Copies of this chain bind each other. A is one copy, B any other.
Amino acid sequence: MIEPIRWTDEGVVMIDQTRLPAEETYVTCRNYSEVAQAIRAMIVRGAPAIGVAAAMGVAIGVAQAAPADLDAQVARISAELRSTRPTAVNLFWAIDRMNRLYRTIRHLPWEEIRDRLIAEARLVREEDIEINNAIGRHGAPLVPDGKTVLTHCNAGALATAGYGTALGVVRAAVAAGKDIDVFADETRPFLQGARLTVWELQRDGIKATLITDNMAGHFLHSGRIGCVVVGADRIARNGDVANKIGTYQVAVLAKENGVPFYVAAPVSTLDLSLPDGERIPIEERGAAEVTHVFGVRVAPEGTAVRNPAFDITPSRYVTAIITERGVARAPFEESLRDLAGSPA
């Protein structure tokens, strides 16, 4: 089983997702600034995995803090971790969760605060694996048997603490005996599909076929795709979904061709404070991700680039949102509110 992120006595250990699939190497972040830098550089990526990393970042920051003036230090640690990436709400959710706990235990001795925060960060990780198993259980019945699942980016074990959201649904469908295979969009510019999704499905013996992003429409039109399943970085109150750039066009093409489009994400990805997707901040990343591939230049010197890392899929293209608490369908304003309010 792939362990993308875990707590050790030496620090927060992460599989380096920038090196896969060529090398399976692990990075140890020994303080909260190294955790923040790992999130920025996408050594760890995927909304749920970023949440786990941020929780562990708060814990390691407090573990190394001076016992005096802890309030200010927790605020500084949290602010640095919050500044790493803007779109995935799980980052803020995890930091808020750690801060809420801190406020209830701040009167305790420092050693106890430290131990409780470390335990909480480890719990965030363990819960995430359980959540993904539950997402898989809810999603597996939706996957048509004998067809292909199309996925975009990597919403797999590597994007989470383990098992995956979208790929958790695939794994659960395979475990349930369904005869399916996966088409993986390569997902430029960072190539999460080519590098990560194919890699982890190969390890599990699930048949995966790699396509470039511009082939998705062709295969959705061909009739072989039974459904699309993707992850999410943030879901607004009305069901609009922020996810990896390119998700929007896959959703439009799925609808145009009568193929169900499913989003698999934990309840922590819901941001009910936002009425719709237009308010979700979209990260714009550097030009070199587009002009270079693994350091090799693919465009002329001086090329102007746009590089939004995410896009918004309006909820009218979303067939259903699969969470650990059940499956939400339109009208999403109601169904998501009900799921958010229901017991975990």
Contacts and interface: CB of A to CB of B under 8 A. Distances in A.
A2 to B, nearest CB: 14
A198 interface: yes
A188 B217 CA distance: 14
A324 to B, nearest CB: 28
Nearest to A216: B249
Interface stretch (A31-39, A296-304, A325-333): A296-304
B304 A207 contact: yes
A214 B298 contact: no
Contacts of A259: none
A133 B167 CA distance: 50
A253 interface: yes
Given A21-B299, A290-B186, A299-B186, A209 B253 contact: no
Interface in A164-181: none
Given A195-B299, A198-B299, A298-B186, A304 B210 contact: yes
Interface stretch (A70-78, A106-114, A154-162, A305-313): A305-313
B293 A208 contact: no
A183 B212 CA distance: 19
Interface residues of A, number: 54
A98 interface: no
A305 B218 contact: no
Interface in A192-223: 194-195, 198-199, 202, 207-219, 221
A187 interface: yes
A209 B245 contact: no
A256 interface: yes
A291 B210 contact: yes
A221 B311 CA distance: 10
Of all A-B residue pairs in the complex, the 8 with the closest CB atoms, nearest first, are: A214-B246, A217-B249, A188-B212, A213-B214, A21-B300, A194-B299, A218-B311, A293-B293
